[in-house]
Amino acid sequence: MKKRGRGVAWMFYPIGFTAYANPSAAFVKVNQDGSAVVWTGATDVGQGSTTALAQIAADALGIPVELVTMVTSDTLQTPMDIGSVASRVTYIAGNAIVRACEMAKQILFEVASEELGIGPEGLESRNGWIFVRDFPERRVRLAEIARKAEVVKGRPVIGAGSYNPPTTFLDPETGHGKPYNTYVYAAQVAEVEVDTETGEVKVLRIAAVHDCGRAINPLLVEGQIEGGVAMGLGYALSEEMVLQEGRVLNTKLADYLVPTSLDVPPIDVEIVEVPDPTGPFGAKGIGEPSLLPTAPAIVNAIYDAVGVRIRELPATPERILMALREKEKEQPGRSVRDREDGRPEK
């Protein structure tokens, strides 16, 4: 008999290393044509950080993103970033880039203030223009100012910035401290169908609702969440590294089972944007958090469907059948298989 159930799980997750320093640094150069080059050590392994960081640089300088060239992950050329780990790149490398851009923008604004007749603090830049905040029609092309700064004033428009989240170690006596500077939050709901004859679990649908601060690039954020859910689904149901005397026995993708397109159900993603005042334009992170609630939500859904608690992952058909048999032994004659309404005994 096939029985359906739903389960929910929540999580919070910190951005960055636990108390240890994990800095990032960036250089920026604004060219005479109003384009810019950003150097960052942050490494894009496919999550899209180079795109998001280019967007951050563009908004921080006030130029179109098409005019930003990124130079990344080259230990000879780029300043250091500690790595694409701890869901930290958008937050920490992003903050470093904002600071580098602020330094370059200060040079632009000081030069522009002569033309616009107001101090640099009264200026803003957007879409390739520098303008007076209170009188936006009083404006000058950013490229013109960049050229003037470099050629006439002898002040190349460059900037450098770094960021390291302010943290403290936990006090060994009290356990108190501030090991992270910010956190993200999420909830996921899984709907599953459990076959009580075979122990097989089919995930029918997953809803994933995530806070990531400001979503710099919502399409990329969705991609991170969908991929994380698929990874969490594998963790919940099929992926198990089998060790024997220190050797991995299942070293092939034929026996270490990564979810396929037929295993991953439709995923309803919702991004809850709560801008964080400490993040670049309010952004935090989304990499790892996306997969954390998936397995507990699925295991809770299994419990809702057939009334057994699976406490060892993955929840393979064998483990589910064993748990169902244990339950029958404890409650003879009240087998979940006999119930008509599909609701488990609890």
Partner 1 sequence: MTFHLRFWLNGQEVRTEVEPDETLLWVLRERLNMTGTKVGCEAGDCGACTVLLDGRPVTSCLLLAPKAHGRHVVTIEGLGSPAKLHPLQQAFITYGALQCGFCGPGMLLSAAALLTQNPHPTEREVREAIAGNLCRCTGYQKIVQAILAVSRGEVP
**In terms of CB distance, is 157 or 215 closer to partner 1?**
215
CB of 227 to partner 1, least distance (A): 5
> Is 267 near partner 1 (CB under 8 A)?
yes
With contact defined as beta carbons under 8 Å apart, do 58 and 94 qualify? no
> Is 219 near partner 1 (CB under 8 A)?
yes
> Is 124 near partner 1 (CB under 8 A)?
no
Count of residues in contact with partner 1, rule CB under 8 A: 24
CB of 48 to partner 1, least distance (A): 7
**In terms of CB distance, is 30 or 269 closer to partner 1?**
269
Stretch that binds partner 1, among 45-53, 69-77, 114-122, 123-131 (CB under 8 A): 45-53
> Is 144 near partner 1 (CB under 8 A)?
no
Stretch that binds partner 1, among 25-33, 63-71, 180-188, 247-255 (CB under 8 A): 247-255
CA–CA separation, 86 vs 22, rounded Å? 10
Candidates 165, 228, 296, 314; binder of partner 1 (CB under 8 A) is 228
Closest CA to 48 of 67, 30, 72, 29: 72
CA–CA separation, 318 vs 312, rounded Å? 12
Stretch that binds partner 1, among 39-47, 68-76, 133-141, 152-160 (CB under 8 A): 39-47
CB of 10 to partner 1, least distance (A): 20
Candidates 59, 81, 222, 276; binder of partner 1 (CB under 8 A) is 222
Residue 273 annotated as catalytic = no
CA–CA separation, 156 vs 177, rounded Å? 43
Closest CA to 273 of 216, 189, 207: 216
> Is 249 near partner 1 (CB under 8 A)?
no
> Is 286 near partner 1 (CB under 8 A)?
no
Integer distance in angstroms from the first to the last C-alpha of the chain? 18
CB of 24 to partner 1, least distance (A): 21
* Dihedrals phi, psi of 301, to nearest 5 degrees: -70, -35
- How much is the CA Rg of the chain, to the nearest whole Å? 26
Interacting residues of 241 by C-beta distance below 8 A, sequence separation 6+: 248, 250, 256
> Is 236 near partner 1 (CB under 8 A)?
no
Tokens read off for 190: 């899984």
Within 13 Å, how many C-alpha atoms sit on residue 81's CB side?
Answer: 35
**In terms of CB distance, is 57 or 221 closer to partner 1?**
221
Cis, bond preceding 314 (omega within 30 deg of 0): yes
**In terms of CB distance, is 75 or 261 closer to partner 1?**
261
Stretch that binds partner 1, among 83-91, 192-200, 246-254, 308-316 (CB under 8 A): 246-254
CA–CA separation, 206 vs 193, rounded Å? 12
Q: What amino acid is encoded at 291 in this protein?
A: L
| Cα→Cα distances 342→189, 196, 307, Å | 19, 11, 10
Closest CA to 38 of 109, 110, 96: 96
Candidates 100, 143, 231, 305; binder of partner 1 (CB under 8 A) is 231
What is the contact mask toward partner 1 in residues 88 to 107, using x (rule: CB under 8 A)?
--------------------
The alpha carbon dihedral of 314, 317, 323, 327 has a sign of positive
Q: Which helix (H) or strand (E) holds 226?
A: helix 218-237
Candidates 8, 71, 264, 313; binder of partner 1 (CB under 8 A) is 264
Active-site pick, 288, 318, 326, 345: 288
With contact defined as beta carbons under 8 Å apart, do 138 and 132 qualify? yes
> Is 261 near partner 1 (CB under 8 A)?
yes
Q: What residues are labeled active site?
A: 288
Binding site for partner 1 (CB under 8 A): 45-48, 219-220, 222-223, 226-231, 252-254, 258, 260-262, 264, 266-267
